[in-house]
């Protein structure tokens, strides 16, 4: 019910016109009575004149006796509304008619009430509740208001409703911006700005959302587009509020980016959640007392959805470091889970650590919720992770779903029961009305639906599959087919009853698909994690089928609940749930040819993405490729197991820029494995060596990086290879980071000449960048100025965000001492451009140098907060080469803040690790009570024995106190 208030009458105009009693649609009649009712509902409780109603129904061409005809339509409506009457619903009152409608009965009135309450909440700063209320308000809309009617008399009221909807959408976006969640609304905002290009509030909101997402350049471009449009078309400048936002962007006003709510990657609800209130409360209580709670039960009983609902409903203040979903179903049986967890947390492998150790170390000092979904086929790895979390991460709670318990000491198990008959019936009706809005309700139908739900044992997945058939059959016909479905189980009658019910429902739903739909469904089981339309078509379609025909099949499968469609920045993706996917795999007689098609398509995608990320459309290709990590993994494993070395090398040679600088270094390990099979003379051998060596370099394993790079000898990869995938570059970078700057400089100067000869602008900007960096490292930045300036010119000509980010950084570094304000602006722009394409390594070094520049030039307060962000950034990305450098900067800042004890402790931690500290021995002796004083000795003892991760915690804690 609208507003959940009282008995059963609903009038709906936020979409097509509908009247319902207890959720069941009421037939209204033909077009003309519907227009009359719409005219009355647009002004509920008010007198609507007969002249207005006549004009609404007939326009400029009324019949000979329009009032008589109008009275006939009103009489019909009174008959329709008779069951709804409490008193006289529709009465004559000169000069027209009045329809009595309670506020909670009309969706438009309920919408207005929710919006008004949300605005009150927002006015007192309760933006979280405002978002909830606005979500509820906007969920009442089913489409354009009364779009079925073409009446000039109704247009003004319909336009008013549409404007109110847009206002509410803007209010929701504003509340999200106040919550620091602007990054979540960028896509929706961008679409709204394109649809309403002159609406200045939307443009200002998009500017703020982009800026808060680290995309300053795009935010400024929005302003320029708006200004150009207003000046060219209307001859006016943007309004003062928009100009103020623009000015604050240019000034890097920190208040533009409010503190964010705890982060999460939980998906938005696509459908309503039914029942389970008692279970949710009990599970939440278990999670207060236990670190590991496992929801078990048969496939299809709703474990995953229940876990997501519990996670979404928990008090986020308990988990300030976020709520993170890790979907394990795309993994092959027995695979390690740590890479999936790391990807969800956006954590990368630390130098000198395994990925498992890196994940645990990251979570050790944090308070977060980890949702491990579908653990059953990676049970051992899931259990080991849960064990490590409970032993080392006291602030982390794990909520797992599995058909089997994990078997870990301290695990609390909750067996998810099937839905009650009442809840199952409600779920069935909701899903049936999604495809058949006039799905009937009444004693006969309700009893039949309840019987169907009992026979499906209350399993939500089985019920949803059955309800999806209501568009093409009645409930009694469905019940009859269920009897047939029991006979389809064959040998599976030995399965547990509930599992047998689910298999029966899937089997029955599968058999009701057309032949092409069955084929498409089964073939999609080779796509772990789903895929976009292009990939589904390439891998699963018949050879001569068109993409439109594939989309038609997918649409049918989505309508029948066999495939789930989800939105992502790269477009819509289509996914088969794991229970259905396992069934689909059994329906493939021979998956070998399909697996090859899958591998070939995703290798081709990786190659196209590798080229694309070195061009102007880098962001587009990143967002296109990143969701397919599971498919890249499956493609490599198939190529490796089939010993197709060409396919394996093509893939790993393409991924350094696509994945390694953005997600992690798993693909570098694939490259090392591929090299085990590859002959040295293979044309992609050198690129494979570069990919493996760069991964080792990123992890700080310089000895292994140097050894891998040496396998290429003097050979160089082909033009167009990933910019970070040249083996000799890796060897030069090792020399640079180990202090042999001259060797690195000589090498890169020679490479500049080769890049000029080959007319390769990406390679030229890369090598010029390193020439400038080497000169800065030699403390002769003025000698690197020319290289940095040329680097910027070349990079800007490519319009590639990563290249321009690197060039801004290089120029900032050589100007850091001679022109600090300009250097600071360059560092900020470098960070913004790198963040816009999820290039977290380049973003991190730019953020770090910006913080160091602020600290040196008296903006200590800003530097303090910035260094906390940089500590967290390198902690997440796992780059200890950069984190050690960051700690050096922080030691200098701590001295300026008067935090001598912490500065000296960090100094001894660095020196004990063999790193250079900014404090010289005589300085460290002066800081406290002399080199032999008790406080100095305590700092030396503590720092010398302090693990690196504890040094980061100490630095973060002290900086936060200073903030």
pLDDT tens per residue across span 182-192: 877 887 888 88
Tell me the average pLDDT across 511-535: 89
Q: Residue 750: its pLDDT value, please?
A: 94
pLDDT tens per residue across span 620-644: 898 889 889 999 999 999 999 999 9
Cα–Cα dist 261/296, whole Å: 30
Cα–Cα dist 962/951, whole Å: 17
Assign 3-class secondary structure to 161-191: HHHHHHHHHHHHHHHHHHCCCHHHCHHHHHH
Q: Could you give the residue ranges of the DSSP H alpha helices within 393-474? A: 421-435, 443-455, 460-467
Judge whether residue 401 has pLDDT over 70: yes
13: how many CB neighbours lie within 10 A of its CB? 23
pLDDT tens per residue across span 434-470: 767 667 766 667 788 888 888 777 888 888 888 877 7
Cα–Cα dist 29/795, whole Å: 66
Tell me the average pLDDT across 104-118: 86
Judge whether residue 769 has pLDDT over 80: yes
Cα–Cα dist 609/720, whole Å: 12
Residues 6+ apart with CB under 8 A from 177: 185, 205, 208, 209, 212, 258
pLDDT tens per residue across span 287-307: 988 999 999 887 778 888 889
pLDDT band at 495 (very low <50, low <70, confident <90, very high): very low
Q: Sheet containing 90-93: which strands, arranged edge to edge?
A: 48-49, 96-99, 90-93
Cα–Cα dist 845/838, whole Å: 14
Judge whether residue 830 has pLDDT over 80: yes
Distinct helix (H) and strand (E) counts, the chain = 44, 14
Q: Where is average pLDDT lowest: 49-58, 205-214, 292-301, 477-486? A: 477-486
Q: Where is average pLDDT lowest: 39-43, 703-707, 798-802, 876-880? A: 876-880
What burial letters (b/e) apply to 641-652, b meaning 16+ CB within 10 Å?
eeebbebbbbbb
Judge whether residue 895 has pLDDT over 80: yes
Whether 796 and 818 have beta carbons less than 8 Å apart is answered as no
Q: Residue 932: its pLDDT value, please?
A: 64
Tally the residues of the chain.
Answer: 963
Query: If phi over 0 gives left and psi between -120 and 50 gives alpha, with beta otherwise, what is residue 235?
Result: left
Q: Residue 640: its pLDDT value, please?
A: 93
- Residue 901 is inside which H or E element, if any? helix 900-912
pLDDT band at 139 (very low <50, low <70, confident <90, very high): confident
pLDDT band at 167 (very low <50, low <70, confident <90, very high): very high
Q: Residue 493: its pLDDT value, please?
A: 39
Cα–Cα dist 564/586, whole Å: 20
Query: If phi over 0 gives left and psi between -120 and 50 gives alpha, with beta otherwise, what is residue 528?
Result: beta
- Residue 658 is inside which H or E element, if any? none
pLDDT tens per residue across span 248-279: 888 777 777 775 556 778 876 666 677 788 88
Q: Residue 391: its pLDDT value, please?
A: 93
Q: Residue 929: its pLDDT value, please?
A: 60
Residue 730's nearest CA partner among 759, 689, 765, 672 is: 689
Q: Residue 41: its pLDDT value, please?
A: 82
Residues 6+ apart with CB under 8 A from 677: 640, 643, 645, 648
Tell me the average pLDDT across 321-342: 84
pLDDT tens per residue across span 738-763: 889 999 999 999 999 999 998 899 99
Residue 541 token pair: 């379609």
Judge whether residue 922 has pLDDT over 60: no
Better-predicted residue by pLDDT, 801 or 129: 801
Cα–Cα dist 425/441, whole Å: 11
Q: Residue 486: its pLDDT value, please?
A: 42
Residue 205 token pair: 């909101």
Can you tell me whether residue 761 is helix, strand or coil? Answer: helix
Tell me the average pLDDT across 77-97: 72
How high does pLDDT run on average in the chain? Answer: 84
Judge whether residue 168 has pLDDT over 50: yes
Cα–Cα dist 683/672, whole Å: 16
Q: Residue 23: its pLDDT value, please?
A: 66
**Cα Rg for the chain, rounded, in angstroms?**
32
Cα–Cα dist 371/39, whole Å: 50
Q: Residue 494: its pLDDT value, please?
A: 39
Better-predicted residue by pLDDT, 160 or 81: 160
Q: Residue 960: its pLDDT value, please?
A: 80
Residue 209's nearest CA partner among 219, 199, 201 is: 219
Residue 905 token pair: 């402790």
Better-predicted residue by pLDDT, 874 or 472: 874
Tell me the average pLDDT across 154-165: 82
Q: What is the greatest pairwise CA distance in the chain?
A: 111
Q: Residue 66: its pLDDT value, please?
A: 78
Q: Where is average pLDDT lowest: 704-718, 758-772, 881-895, 940-954? A: 940-954
């Amino acid at each position: 019910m609208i507003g959940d208030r009282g008995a059963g009458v609903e009038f709906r105009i936020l979409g097509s016109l509908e009247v319902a009693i207890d959720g069941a649609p009421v037939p209204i009649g033909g077009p003309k009575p519907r227009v009359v009712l719409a005219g009355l509902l647009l002004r509920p409780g008010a007198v609507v004149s007969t002249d207005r109603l006549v004009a609404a129904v007939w326009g400029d061409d009324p019949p000979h006796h329009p009032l008589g005809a109008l009275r006939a339509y009103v009489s019909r409506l009174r008959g329709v509304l008779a069951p709804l009457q409490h008193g006289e619903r529709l009465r004559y009152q000169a000069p027209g008619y009045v329809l009595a409608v309670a506020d909670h009965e009309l969706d438009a009135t309920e919408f207005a009430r929710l919006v008004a309450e949300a605005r009150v909440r927002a006015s007192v700063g309760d933006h979280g509740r405002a978002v909830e209320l606005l979500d509820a308000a906007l969920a009442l809309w089913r489409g354009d208001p009364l779009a079925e009617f073409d009446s000039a008399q109704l247009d003004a009221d319909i336009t008013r409703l549409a404007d109110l909807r847009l206002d509410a959408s803007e209010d929701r976006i504003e509340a999200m911006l106040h919550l620091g969640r602007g990054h979540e609304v960028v896509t929706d905002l961008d679409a709204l700005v394109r649809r309403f290009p002159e609406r200045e509030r939307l443009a200002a909101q998009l500017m703020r959302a982009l800026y808060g997402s680290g995309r300053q350049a795009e935010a400024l471009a929005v302003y320029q587009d708006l200004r150009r449009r207003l000046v060219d078309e209307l001859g006016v400048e943007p309004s003062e509020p928009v100009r103020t936002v623009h000015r604050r962007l240019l000034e890097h006003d920190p208040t533009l980016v409010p503190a964010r709510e705890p982060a999460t990657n939980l998906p938005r609800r696509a459908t309503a959640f039914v029942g389970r209130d008692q279970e949710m409360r009990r599970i939440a209580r278990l999670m207060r007392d236990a670190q590991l709670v496992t929801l078990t039960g048969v496939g299809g009983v709703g474990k995953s959805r229940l876990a997501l609902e519990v996670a979404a409903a928990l008090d986020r203040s308990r988990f300030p470091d976020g709520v993170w979903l890790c979907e394990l179903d795309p993994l092959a049986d027995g695979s390690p889970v740590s890479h999936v967890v790391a990807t969800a947390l956006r954590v990368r492998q630390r130098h000198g650590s395994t990925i498992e150790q890196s994940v645990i170390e990251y979570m050790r000092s944090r308070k977060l919720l980890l949702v491990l979904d579908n653990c059953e086929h990676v049970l051992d790895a899931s259990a080991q992770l849960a064990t490590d979390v409970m032993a080392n991460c006291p602030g982390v709670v794990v909520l797992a779903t599995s058909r089997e318990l994990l078997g870990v000491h301290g695990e609390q198990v909750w067996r998810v029961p099937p839905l009650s008959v009442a809840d199952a019936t409600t779920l069935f009706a909701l899903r049936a009305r999604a495809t058949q809005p006039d799905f009937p309700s009444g004693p006969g139908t309700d009893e039949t639906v309840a019987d169907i739900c009992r026979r499906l044992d209350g399993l939500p997945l089985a019920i949803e599959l059955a309800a999806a058939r209501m568009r093409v059959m009645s409930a009694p016909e469905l019940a009859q087919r269920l009897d047939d479905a029991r006979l389809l189980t064959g040998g599976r009658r030995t399965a547990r009853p509930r599992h047998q019910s689910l298999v029966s429902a899937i089997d029955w739903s599968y058999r009701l698909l057309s032949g092409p739909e069955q084929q498409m469904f089964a073939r999609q089981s080779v796509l772990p994690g789903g895929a976009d339309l292009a990939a589904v078509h390439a891998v699963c379609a018949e050879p001569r089928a068109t993409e439109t025909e594939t989309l038609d099949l997918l649409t049918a499968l989505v309508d029948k609940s066999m495939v789930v469609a989800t939105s992502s920045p790269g477009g819509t993706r289509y996914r088969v749930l794991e229970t259905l996917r396992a069934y689909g795999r059994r329906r493939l007689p021979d998956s070998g040819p399909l697996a090859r098609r899958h591998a070939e398509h995703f290798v081709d995608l990786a190659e196209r993405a590798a080229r694309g990320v070195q061009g102007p459309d880098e962001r587009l290709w990143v967002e296109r490729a990143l969701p397919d990590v599971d498919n890249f993994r499956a493609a490599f494993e198939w190529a490796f197991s089939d010993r197709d070395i060409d396919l394996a090398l093509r893939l790993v040679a393409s991924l350094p820029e696509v994945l390694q600088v953005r997600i992690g270094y798993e693909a570098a390990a694939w490259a090392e494995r591929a090299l085990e099979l590859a002959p040295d003379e293979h044309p992609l051998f050198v690129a494979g060596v570069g990919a493996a060596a760069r991964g080792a370099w990123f992890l700080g394993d310089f000895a292994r990086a140097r050894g891998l790079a040496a396998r290429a000898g003097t050979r160089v990869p082909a033009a167009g290879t990933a910019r970070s995938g040249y083996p000799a570059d890796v060897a030069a970078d090792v020399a640079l980071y180990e202090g042999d700057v001259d060797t690195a400089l000589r090498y890169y100067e020679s490479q500049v000449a080769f890049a000029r000869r080959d007319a390769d602008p990406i390679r030229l900007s890369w090598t010029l960048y390193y020439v400038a960096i080497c000169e800065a490292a030699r403390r002769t930045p003025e000698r690197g100025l020319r290289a940095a300036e040329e680097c910027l010119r070349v990079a800007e000509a490519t319009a590639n965000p990563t290249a321009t980010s690197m060039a801004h950084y290089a120029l900032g570094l050589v100007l850091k001492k001679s022109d600090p304000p300009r250097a600071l602006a360059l560092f900020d722009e470098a960070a913004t451009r790198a963040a816009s394409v999820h290039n977290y390594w380049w973003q991190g070094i730019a953020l770090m140098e910006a913080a160091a520049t602020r600290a040196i030039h008296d903006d200590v307060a800003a530097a303090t907060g910035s260094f906390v962000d940089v500590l967290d950034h390198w902690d997440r990305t796992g780059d200890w080469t950069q984190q050690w450098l960051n700690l050096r900067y922080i030691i200098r800042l701590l001295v300026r803040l008067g935090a001598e004890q912490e500065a000296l402790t960090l100094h001894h931690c660095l020196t004990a690790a063999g790193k250079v500290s900014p404090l010289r021995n005589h300085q460290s002796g002066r800081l406290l009570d002399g080199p032999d004083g008790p406080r100095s000795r305590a700092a030396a003892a503590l720092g010398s024995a302090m693990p690196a991760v504890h040094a980061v915690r100490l630095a973060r804690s002290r900086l936060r106190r200073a903030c």
